[in-house]
Amino acid sequence: MSDLRPADGTKLLIGGKLLEGSGGVFATINPATGAHLGTAADATADDMGAAIAAARAAFDETDWSTDPAFRARCLRQLRDAMTEHVEELREITIAEVGAPRMLTSGPHLEGPVADLGFFADLAETYSWRTDLPIAEPMGLRTRRQLRREAVGVVGAITPWNFPHQINLAKIGPALAAGNAVVLKPAPDTPWCAAALGTLAAEHTDIPPGVLNVVTSSDHQVGALLSEDPRVDLVSFTGSTRTGKAVMAAAANTIKKVFLELGGKSAFVVLDDADIKAACSMAAFSVSVHAGQGCALCTRLLVPRSRYEEALAATAKTLGGIRAGDPDDPRTVCGPLISERQRDRVERYLALAGKEGGEIVVGGGRPADGGDGFFVEPTLIAGVSNAATVAREEIFGPVLVILPYEDDDDAIRIANDSPYGLSGAVWGTDPDRIDRVVSAIRTGTLGVNGGTWYAADAPFGGYKQSGIGREMGVAGFEEYLETKLVAYPA
């Protein structure tokens, strides 16, 4: 068994073998301290080409795509291997991602590992063939059968913010559906993906080439997945700007794309809600993992008639949340992933002031943050929904509070965004809540604290927040083609 944190660097997984990167290694950094963690294999374009070739051969030349029971067994083996090594994975996740320890028992690790079981079960129970009613097109009595088949080779490109969740939300359904996969993780979090590759190679019966993991410091290595004609589908999670580039590159070979992109979600507090409870929840949620979640609500919409009450409640909660050591089990808000990301957040905070906004709480670096990439949880007031900080995704622990006049105005402001990924509505009148929920153009909504994330629940957005759905049966079917076979009846 390989060490999941080897001193001399992690390995690539290509064609069933754990290999060095042709480009040597690149450094990994602990975002909580700014210190050097270790190294990861640095793949080149040649390595990516080899991984794509291995995936193509595995899909075309083995029976992986036609044996759902075998696929289910392999996915359960991967789940069990990750569960057996969960403490090693936990330490990697805290150190490399800056993930708060408390979140590794949920969405940062243990949750997505357990979710592999859902896709294993789905591979065994899904209706791969469905008979349609006999029809008589042009007077020809015909029996029709609908078949669902794997797309082929899937290129999965993932970000750094929730690496286990996003890696497994692509790998799980793609493999369950019968595809071969090439995973290219973000350069900031290669260890999480490399550990997955090591466990798959050493503890599962996944055939060589069916799963490949290619870490690299070069973003262009991942871009090859969008361009290569041997890849049938690209599944990308990341910024809307990069998603547009992925979509444009994929167009040259007319390959399918799944895109889960940015968000600027609205947390709508109706005037009959418990203002203190609602605003406290909004403040807490935007601080989770330092606000590095595309589906977190970063615009807080409150009734103008109760604005001062809402502002005070939000400021009190946000001011009580400390950005601190992710290894501390009490920490909710850890570091940003990198110095580059901290600089980006701080540029937005400076811009808020230039646009007439007021930083009510936070806005700086914690005094005890050392060399880590921390930013205090921050509340911005005094701007309209037209302000840059209210329109662009900051990806930090920053909440903008916006007053509205009535329910229609709240709906207008919530929808006045290029994004439509998530959101929340708080109130007491079920009819009003339902009207607001129905009118907001977004892919997921939580009502009064309801949680929409689960293995069987599809996730994705409207507008520039993406194309398609991840998780659930809908996410599984993203990785399938539809074939209609007609017979004489």
Question: What is the set of active-site residues?
Answer: 260
Q: Please list the alpha-helical segments (H only) found in 210-274.
A: 219-227, 240-251
The rounded Cα 399 to chain-centroid distance in angstroms is 20
State how far the alpha carbon of 48 is from the alpha carbons of 187, 212, 261, 367, in Å.
Answer: 14, 9, 24, 43
**DSSP three-state, residue 346:** helix
Paired residues of 27 in beta bridges: 39
**DSSP three-state, residue 349:** helix
C-alpha to C-alpha distance for 378 and 420, rounded to whole angstroms: 23
C-alpha to C-alpha distance for 142 and 486, rounded to whole angstroms: 6
DSSP state of 218: -
Paired residues of 55 in beta bridges: none
The answer to whether 449 touches 267, Cβ cutoff 8 Å, is no
Closest C-alpha among 263, 249, 257, 166 to residue 464: 263
The answer to whether 51 touches 182, Cβ cutoff 8 Å, is yes
Structure tokens at 101: 């320890």
C-alpha to C-alpha distance for 445 and 18, rounded to whole angstroms: 42
The answer to whether 120 touches 176, Cβ cutoff 8 Å, is yes
**DSSP three-state, residue 384:** coil
Q: What is the DSSP string of 82-149?
A: HHHTHHHHHHHHHHHH---GGGGGTTTTHHHHHHHHHHHHHHHHS-SEEEEEEE-GGG--EEEEEEEE
Backbone conformation region of residue 370, classed left if phi is above 0, alpha if psi is from -120 to 50, else beta: left
The answer to whether 233 touches 151, Cβ cutoff 8 Å, is yes
Q: What is the DSSP string of 186-202?
A: -TT-HHHHHHHHHHHHH
